[in-house]
A and B are shown apart, each in its own frame.
Chain A
Amino acid sequence: MNVSILTICYIIGSVTFILGLKLLSNPATARKGNLIAAGGMFIAILGTIFLYEENGSKLGNYAWIFGGLLIGSVIGTLAARKVKMTAMPEMVSLFNGMGGACAALISLVEFNHISKELAVNNSSEYVNSIQPTVLIIVLGLIIGAVSFAGSMIAWGKLNGKVKDFSFTGQNILNLILLAVALGAGVYLVIDPINSYLIYVILALALVYGVLFVMPIGGADMPVVISLLNSFTGVAAAFGGFLYDNKVMLTGGILVGAAGTLLTILMCKAMNRSLLNVLVGSFGGSNSSAATGGKDQGHYKEISLSDAATIMSYANKVLIVPGYGLAVAQAQHSCHELEKILNEKGVEVKYAIHPVAGRMPGHMNVLLAEADVSYEKLLEMEQANDEFKTTDVVLILGANDVVNPAAKNDTASPIYGMPILEVELAKNIIVNKRSMKPGYAGIENDLFFQPKTSMLFGDAKKVLQDLLSEIKNV
């Protein structure tokens, strides 16, 4: 009876996960989707605590279980409530790492049970019967540990605590590490009595996770986090195999598949293959070849008052936010600018490149935080239609996503990447901190075109100065 109710709980859980992800795909229903999935999770968790039975006996240690749930809930809620919008991506990475660690710990404890049994019963029938279980445990452990270690490094990189680090032969070393870990895993499956190997595998997987993410540049972290997210999904699914638990299985595989697709979509938006992100450090290898090329000529600067004037008398202004806006946390100043220009009868919209910022959709979240209305955010295709009729494009800390080389220069490393075609507009004002190249490490011809002018400085400060200038116009 109890087991049947638990099965129903799990079915509800699985359905809400699918439904939740589906509703998350539409801005109008997204929040509901998240709450539905959370509700399903709650039912599945409660059902497990009170109804789960194995060989006729119920779960014990309620004090430990509720203690853990309470501690986790309090810390999780506080951390999630307190975090700044700009720090959202690293928060996701951190939580993802927790899930990976959880999967790895489950594997460790389950293996510990098995090796205790083995110490008593070493018959070949018993060994044969547990081999599939050991395989699942080993795979869950490797994937969970890689996901945990990788997510911690990604988290550290995004908040600036961990610097890029690579050495020659690192890729080969990584492959060797992974091969040794898998080899040890196979050996353990064949001969499960060598229980110490589980710790060797754990250590190798952790080192692999660290070295795997270390050389990848900070701007590629979204792709890495998305990939690690799907890894954790797969690790959770292995937990489902282990306990023959359908809700873990469906939830895990769902996230594994969706996360992998999302990762590929992100890579596509940057015109790179996943392999290239993971193996090649893009900026390092290509920059020298690309920058050494032709003489770019001169760029011109624009004064704040001039910039204020042409924007105040424009009919339509499009703002292109980028990484620089996120770093300077200038989203509120940006919205101020929009409001003050609106009062002067200027139409203001935002052109959002799919990979602007630190994560796809990051700019939307940031601008939403500053109360910018959803209708004013144009996706790339819409924006490209509107640039022709735009008087002023204001680029705030974006670079590669507006580089015309992606369209014109077949030799450019970013050739073929879809970009915002800002050069169709009448005037272009570029706010950057310096002339330093963007993440791809290449010069941007746009900055040297006659209709482009540069406005140097931190995005937030420049916007605030611009605001006071516009008030004076």
Chain B
Amino acid sequence: MLIYRPARRLLLLLSFAATVGRVSAQPLPEGPIGAFDGRVVVRGEVIAAGSSADDIAYFNYTDYEHNALRMVRLGVSGVYRPASWLAFVGEVRSEDLQHPTAYAAYARVRPWRNRPLDIQAGRIPPVFGAFGRRIYGNGNPVIGYPLAYQYLTSLRPDAIPATADDLLRMRARGWRSNFPVGSTAPGPGMPLVSAFQWDTGVQVSWKSGALDLAGAVTNGTLSNPRMSDNNDGKQLSARVAVTPTVGLILGASAARGSWLSRTVTPGAEPAQRALGADLEYSRDHWIVRGEAVWSRFAFPTVLAPSTSRAVDAMATWIDGRYRVTPRIFLGARADRLSFSELQGSTATLPWDAPVTRLEWGAGYFIQRNFILRVTAQSNRRDAGRVRNRTYIAGQLAYWF
């Protein structure tokens, strides 16, 4: 029987929500499932979110097909630890019940038993920033993602503008932009940092006391993590985090990698450079987090009539959670994504339309690892067909 996608999504949400009523009678697993004397551990995640439809503003799209506020995500991860110094980690995810994809697949090696140094190789966790390194289900105070990690700018790895006007014409069209150089077919743009894919490469991390260091060499870039390389340049990324006092974490990140496909710029390797700063402070029933990401995208040629060969973007946000009772919490995030100015033939404008987002709401712990969230998300964009849009969203997030 043919079931159209919105109806199918609604059915899925309803069936998932129906399980809530059964929880008190037969609680869901509260922790990972272990086997073979703990050498194999399986974890899972089910997230079902729903909100009013958005087929015109695309504020929350993660690519051309998926909306972060209207998504059913299933994830299963497994860890096989054949020895104390070696672990194999894999995770498979499916969004909106589409084909499952390998989100993570890496080997983790600790060469010295008494030194907190780990080497990971394969499709590895992100090094850059703080948001991508947290478990989404419990780590996100609201439903939506920070703009830097989700909002699609008009830039694409497989197509570039020939002039500044080509880029300015695509303002607020990151969900489906097109440019004259490279692939001319319309396609989704990229966020500053992708939270929906992990990159492939090698990572070294060292954690001791108040200091946490990590560095990685990977195939893709922050905006476009990849399984296989699409150019001849690798990305280098690093993060340092310190805990000067209990409850306060300060982090700084940097990354540089070739962001354009070799089909667009054979022989040239313009880079995406990014810097990040993050902080987390918690006390009693409060937790406050803030993060700033600056990213520069270089082009192989000048974007005439301007003299610029690069464009910048800056995202900053702050979010917080307050636990009112053991089961109820309040959460909010204020978020801003802005872009550098670019001189076109008729005007000088930010190269993409700046976006401001406010999201606030409440959550209820049905079980320790099963949360119901309801939020209101208000978006304002400085250009585009739809400039303001508010969404009411609900989400059930369960993980074990």
A binds B: no
List B residues at the A interface (Cβ < 8 Å).
none
Tell me the A residues contacting B by CB distance below 8 Å: none
